[in-house]
Amino acid sequence: MKASALALLLALAAGGARGQTPAPAARAGEVVDRMVAVINGRELITYTDLLWQLALQPDAPLDEPRREDLRRALALLIDQRLISQEAEKLPSVAPTAEEISGELARLIGFFPSQSDFYARLGRVGLGEDSTQLREIVEDRVRIRKYLDFRFRSFTVVAPREVEEYYRDVYVPRRRRQSPGVIVPKVEEVYKELEAELIESKMDSDTDEFLEEARNAAEITLLDRSFEGGGR
């Protein structure tokens, strides 16, 4: 997975609801659902799952999805399913009702309004009170909690690392962005830089984890049109 694994997995990505009856496609009365891939012989990904993924990305076309968007959605779904399989082993990361509501509100915040959000989801068969939408949000929370537990809890940044990052990255960046403006002292931005370094380390750890998980997984493409696609 390329740059910022956590951003790709959690910013607007959504895992499909598993074991559900496929939803209708964007055009009313036309069902185009088909099986796309199977993970480890038990996790089925359908074309509808890909549409649900794209529906949560405000700028992605739904009526005639671009092939690159669909392939990217498939890659993200595979990664999410692999993480979810690991997360299921930890009862402590089960989402609470409050966390689910908070995540749903955060997703809605990427759209102009709540009505716009639900109208877009409705085009791909995701109703406001649907089981599928709730499972998608639950999966997002579960993934986030699992990654926090597995990586963030054990990620340590030494003061020397923060000082080097301040000198080599932060100061040059601020001088490029705001020429002539006094750069804050390291003490003033220490927490901000520490957080950036933690996120960077988590991205690296997540990349490594996902690479190992993909290599160990049995991923079977059932739709040949997705063969040869990358991120």
What pLDDT score does 9 carry? 56
- Write out the chain in H/E/C secondary structure: CCCCHHHHHHCCCCCCCCCCCCCCCCCCCCCCCCEEEEECCCEEEEHHHHHHHHHCCCCCCCCCCCHHHHHHHHHHHHHHHHHHHHHCCCHHHCCCHHHHHHHHHHHHCCCCCHHHHHHHHHCCCCCCCCHHHHHHHHHHHHHHHHHHHHCHHHCCCCHHHHHHHHHHHHHHHHHHHCCCCCCCCHHHCHHHHHHHHHHHHHHHHHHHHHHHHHHHCCEEECCHHHCCCCC
Q: pLDDT band at 184, cuts 50/70/90?
A: very high
Q: What is the pLDDT of residue 120?
A: 95
For the residues 71-83, what does the mean pLDDT come to?
93
Residue-level pLDDT at 153: 84
Q: What's the CATH code, domain 5-155+206-226? A: 1.10.4030
pLDDT category of residue 167 using cuts at 50, 70 and 90: very high
pLDDT at 102 over 50: yes
Q: Please list the residue range(s) of the chain that carry CATH number 1.10.4030.
A: 5-155+206-226
- Of the candidates 137, 145, 147, the one whose C-alpha atom is nearest the C-alpha of residue 55 is 137
Mean pLDDT, rounded, for 110-114: 95
pTM recorded for the entire structure: 0.76
- What pLDDT, on the 0 to 100 scale, is given for residue 228? 66
Would you place residue 13 in the very low, low, confident or very high pLDDT band (cuts 50, 70, 90)? very low
Distances from the Cα of 209 to the Cα of 75, 147, 204, 214, angstroms: 15, 10, 9, 9
Would you state the pLDDT for residue 3? 41
